[in-house]
Structure 1
Amino acid sequence: MYDETQLKIIDATMTLIIEKGYSGATTKNIAKLAGVNESTIFRRFDGKKEIVIAAMELPKWNPGLSESDFTYHGDLEEDLTSFSRIYMSKVTPQMVKISIGLRSAELEGAALPGIMKVPMVFKKVLMNYFTQMIANGNMRDCNVESISLQFIAMNFGYIFLDASFGDKLVGVSKEEYIRNSIRVFVSGIREK
């Protein structure tokens, strides 16, 4: 798909975007980090925007979450704990930093489809799951989209805080956070 030089350019670009944001990742700095001439970048890609779009296709720079990643058995606490673990194993602090670094008017939404894939997949899985759990009488009737967004926010919030502040703010392990937050979340939605 991409040759070694292109991959070096993609990796350098995304590394700099994490560190400096999209605007701060200049082609001069990309070339230096990739170990290529700046002109090589433009021979291999039309520009920085095309490099980002190429990166969104690669597992290293896009977590590739899919509906098939999620299986469930009908036990709210067990299933949602599994969902959180899967989500947090793929949506890492690095992925959050990429997402933040790609928020730029210069991209004009070019990276948005790649960034939106993960939350859209997770939302769809959750909405289907919660709809089924309500129909089976396993949880109280509620607005499925709203509860799905709450669950996404609960999971993304931990990763965002960890990516942004690390142990300066986050004093609980990911696993402990998952266990505690799922227990509280499930107690609020379980059918009484």
Structure 2
Amino acid sequence: MDETSQKIIDATMSLIRDKGYVATTTKDIAILAGVNECTLFRKFKNKKDIVMNGMEQEKWRGNLTPEIFRNVRWELQPDLEMFMEEYMNRITPDFVKLSIGLRAPQIYDETAPLIMKIPRAFVSSLIEYFQSMEQKGKLPHLDFEGLAMIIFSNTFGFTFLNASFDNKLTSINKENYIKTTVATFIQGIPHY
């Protein structure tokens, strides 16, 4: 990727994060990137092409893969805290805002599968973890998908609300929220 193309991608993704896909114009992109619109169209077919190139770059997509959840102790509390912590460390407010900006109908069909990789990696990793805990005799057989969705919803909700309201919604910090959520979750699960 040449420097000019990268400037165009960075400008586009930043503007979409801040204004949304529809409100971001090629003129805005060119101004922020420090190029003229002709250069923009020589490098990319259109705004959607720029976005799709940006989504291929790690810096513009959430870096969440099942591999980051492999450092488990096989103890429910510290492991679930680790899952939530890893998610919250990687899914930054900028990524949350960008993913919201990329949900415009004009581009949703192309971006949704890429955005959905994040929750799928989290939920499937949790389901596999719960199944392994059952195999180890540390959990009874339960609705592991439902349990994974509870943890994901709590994790996503806190991350989304903090990104949306710049930590003004609650005074609870991330660490306390994680500990409280996991403790409450575990007290409702029969485990041994």
Q: TM-score, normalised by structure 2?
A: 0.94
| Structure-2 residue corresponding to 1:53 | 52
8 Å CA contact 1:140–1:190 kept in 2: the answer is yes
Q: Name 1:4's counterpart in structure 2.
A: 3
Query: What residue in structure 2 maps to residue 86 of structure 1?
Result: 86
The equivalent of 1:166 in structure 2 is 166
1:140 and 1:189 in contact (8 A); partners too: no
- In the TM superposition, residue 190 of structure 1 has moved relative to its aligned partner by 4.1
Q: Give the ranges of 4+ consecutive aligned residues of structure 1 lying more than 4 Å apart after TM superposition.
A: none
Q: Report if the CA contact (8 A) 1:137-1:191 is conserved.
A: no
**Cα distance in 1 for residues equivalent to 2:131 and 2:159:** 26
* 8 Å Cα contact 2:138/2:191 also seen in 1: yes
CA drift of 1:143 comes to 0.9
Partner of 2:33: 34
User: Which residue is 2:97 aligned to?
Assistant: 97
2: CA distance between counterparts of 1:107 and 1:60? Answer: 20
Change (3 A) 1:166 1:33: same
RMSD: 1.3
After TM superposition, the structure 1 = structure 2 runs for residues 1-192 of structure 1, keeping only pairs within 5 Å, are 2-71=1-70, 72-191=72-191
**Residues 161 and 170 of structure 1 are in contact (CA less than 8 Å); yes or no, is this contact kept in structure 2?**
no
CA contact (8 A) 1:138 1:190 kept: no
More displaced stretch, 27-36 vs 49-58: 49-58
C-alpha separation in 2, matches of 1:187 and 1:4: 53
Which moved further from structure 2: 152-161 or 114-123? 114-123
Residues 27 and 37 in structure 2, CA contact (< 8 A), matched pair in contact too: yes
1: CA distance between counterparts of 2:190 and 2:63? 30
Q: Are the equivalent residues in 2 in contact too, given 1:74–1:133 (CA < 8 A)? A: yes
2-structure distance, mates of 1:34, 1:171: 37
After TM superposition, give the deviation of residue 170 of structure 1 in Å. 2.4
Identity, % of aligned positions: 43
Q: What TM-score does the superposition give when structure 1 sets the normalisation length?
A: 0.94
Inter-partner Cα distance in structure 2 for 1:159 and 1:6: 31
> 1:56 Cα shift?
1.2
Q: How many residues align?
A: 191
8 Å CA contact 2:18–2:98 kept in 1: the answer is no
**How far did residue 134 of structure 1 move?**
2.3
Q: Which runs of 5+ in 1 are unaligned?
A: none
